[in-house]
Amino acid sequence: MIRTAALLAFLTAILLAIGFLFAGILGMTIAFALAIIINFLSYWFSDRIVLGMYKAQLSEDKELNDMVEAIAREADLPKPRVYIVPSETPNAFATGRNKNHAAVAITQGLTSLTREEMAGVIGHEISHIKNNDILVQTVSATIAGAIAYLAQFGYWSLFSRDSRDAGTFIGLVLMVVFAPIAAFIVRMSISRRREYSADYMGAILTKKPLALASALRKINKMSEENPMRGSSATSHLWIVNPFRHDWFTGLFSTHPPLERRVAKLERMSASEVHRK
């Protein structure tokens, strides 16, 4: 909760500064009113905003819902809502305000994995809910996503055939100013340790660390071959970055190297074998 409050305060400070630069005290007043609205929407509706961005729909698949419910019960959590994202690239994320208002979203492509691999991925996402990661993840994705959109608009304008000198200059300013701000918001909010922790707990919940390791490899490979489209500022939500790897997306990178995540899971499996 402290991280979320700090994030919302940082957004308010940015808006007040921009408002003052453009219109002095009047601009600050308008920016403050806007900040209140954005903070309210970010806290109460950020999960719906993110789910809407990816056209996620509630799943009626009984087998999938039963799997999510069983893993949530193992984690001593209420069953989160289950959503399907219409994408053939396998991936998943968790979102929501708290443990009682949480959701797990998986892409249609994730169903191409084995049942054990799917369970490992779902266990990872439920671990984020258990660890209270989801609110700050979702709020940072919503806020940084809005700011990153301005930066991406500037980036696209630089390479537009119809761009003129003035448009190119404005695009450059938007990119140089807003991209680092958006990236800083994400990096300030998200620790790489949370992925290691969610991998570990997800493997504990499903008792299949190698299945999760296998799922991570497959998801990473398929994401490289067929990257999804979306806001780079939401890449930290997904279990593996689903977007095309370029310098802009790299600004928002918070995932640890995949090889290290897989190696930790393999060592975890090996230690369990030795204990037996």
Task: Give the tokens for residue 274.
Answer: 């030795």
Among candidate residues 125, 224, 259, 272, the one labeled active-site is 125
CB 105 within 8 A of CB 111: no
Q: Is 272 a catalytic residue?
A: no
Active centre residues (catalytic):
125
